[in-house]
Each structure stands twice: as C-alpha cells, then as structure tokens.
Amino acid sequence: MNLLAYQPGDSFLHRLNPLTKLAAAFLYGAACMLSGNVFTVAALILLMLAVAASAGLGGRAVRLTRSLFIVGLFMFVIQLFFVRTGDPLLTVGGVTLVTAGGLLSALLLSLRLIAAMLPLMLLFAITEVSDLCGALVKRLHVPYRYAFIVTTAFRFVPLFTSEFHDIEDAQRARGVEYDTRNIIKKMQLVAPLFVPLITSSLRKVDAGAVSAEMRGFNLRTYKSGYYAYPFRPADAAAVAVVAGLVVIAAVL
C-alpha cells in the first residue's frame, strides 16, 4: 500500500476542513522546529503517532516514521561529524571526530526532521487531493491553476511510485538482477527503470492536459465549485490546540 495514498474514513481528523488540516500540519511542523529539547521533539513524534492511530492510521504512521528515520539517520551522520562544539567524545590519533555538541545537534536535527515531515505526509492520508484543491480555491480564492499545480504534484507522487515498482517487477520478470552490489552495474540498470517511467509520465501529462482543457480548465474560478467547505467549531478547536503546542514547544 502506498504510504501517501488517501485512506477513506469517518474519524475526527477526516471530518475536519481541508484547510484546517493543512494549517494544523504546518503549525505542528513549526512546533517541532521551534523546540530545542530532544525529549520534547520525541514526545511530539509519539503524540503524532497516537493522533494517527485515533484516525485508523497507526500502522501507516509507523511505516512513515520508519521511512523518515532513514533520511534522519543520514542527516544525523552529517551533523555528527561537522558540528565541533562541546566536549570531545571520540578522538582518534589526536583528531576529535565526535563532540558532545555535535551529538546533541545531530540527534535534535534528525528528530526534528521526522517530527516535522510526519504530519505533512499524513495530511494526504486523511485528505482527498481534490478537496484540498477545492478548499484552496473556494475559501482562499487561490487561482485554480496554481492550486491545481500544487495538488497535482502531490497526487502524482504515489502514482509514479506505484508505476516505478511495476516497471521494476516487469524488469525482474525479464531476468534483470537489481540485487547486485556492483555500483557500476547498478548505474547501468538506471536506464531500464527510468526510461519507461519518463515515457509513461509524458503520456499521462499529455492526456491530462487534453482532459483538463476539455473540462474548461481555463474558465474555472472560485465561484465554479458547488461545495463551500465550511469551517466548524471543531476546526477552530483543532487549530487552537496545535497553536498551543507551538507556544509550549517554543517555551520549553
């Protein structure tokens, strides 16, 4: 199952206004970035996992966290060896490799990355892209072409990911070995994967452009949609809670 695909549901999060969910995700990410305490950021990650579980997305949130952990680990290693503040913790041949400040900075940066990206990625699991686009146009009066560009970019990510895996499976069925550890061979295997993906993508873009023009893409305004995307008390409460988290994270 694609981790960024929309999962239908009737939870509290699913029923919120798309703009509320977007604002809450950005505010939650801001709270993670403002926090300078490792334990606070870790608590924010656990809180987001609990919130996702309440919407029936616990397993997906765990898998997303595991995927983000790989990126966070890469940032951790870079930060660990490039930050030289604090007392030395690891010295080899008179050269200090790891310092206390570098370790703390690396841990904080990697946790911030995971904590800030997790709500933004889960946003698309509880929000249909068409609703997000419609809310941006209807409520914020964002020009339809710009809202369409942004939301379509996110819509194609899971589509291209799924197609990439399909192409890879097809190449494996033809005898292509992707498990080799030879770097040169791995570079040679890029073409059999990406050439069909790019070709297929161009076809989809061309077909999508024709379809959009036939549906009056250039004529759409904020008055074209029939659904108003109203704000309810639950939306105000959700934003207030996340805004409170921003204040708490900044203070701590």
Residue 103 confidence (pLDDT): 83
Q: Are 125 and 7 a contacting pair, CB within 8 Å?
A: yes
pLDDT higher for 201 or 67?
A: 67
* Residue 199 confidence (pLDDT) above 60: yes
Confidence bin at 237 (pLDDT 50/70/90): very high
pLDDT tens, 106-118? 888 889 888 888 8
Paired residues of 95 in beta bridges:
92
Residue 1 has pLDDT above 60, yes or no: no
Nearest in space to 241 (alpha carbons), one of 22, 57, 27: 27
| Mean pLDDT across the chain | 81
Closest CA to 67 of 9, 2, 159: 2
pLDDT band at 26 (very low <50, low <70, confident <90, very high): very high
Percent of the chain whose predicted confidence (pLDDT) is above 70: 88
The pTM assigned to this predicted structure is 0.74
Residue 97 has phi, psi (to 5 degrees) of -95, -40
pLDDT of residue 211: 74
Whether pLDDT at 144 is above 60: yes
Q: Between residues 94 and 24, which one has the greater pLDDT?
A: 24
What secondary structure letter does DSSP report for 219? G
Domain ranges in the chain are 1-127, 129-230
Mean pLDDT of 163-169: 79
pLDDT at residue 23, rounded to an integer:
92
In tens, the pLDDT along 63-114 reads 888 888 888 888 888 888 777 777 777 777 776 777 878 888 888 888 988 8
Q: What is the pLDDT of residue 21?
A: 92
Query: Which residues make beta-bridge pairs with 90?
Result: 98
Looking at residue 2, its pLDDT comes to 61
pLDDT band at 3 (very low <50, low <70, confident <90, very high): low
Q: Specify the pLDDT at position 4.
A: 67
Inter-residue contact 168 to 158 (CB < 8 Å): no
d(CA 18, CA 136): 8
User: What local confidence, expressed as pLDDT, does residue 27 receive?
Assistant: 92
Q: Do 85 and 102 touch, CB atoms closer than 8 A? A: yes
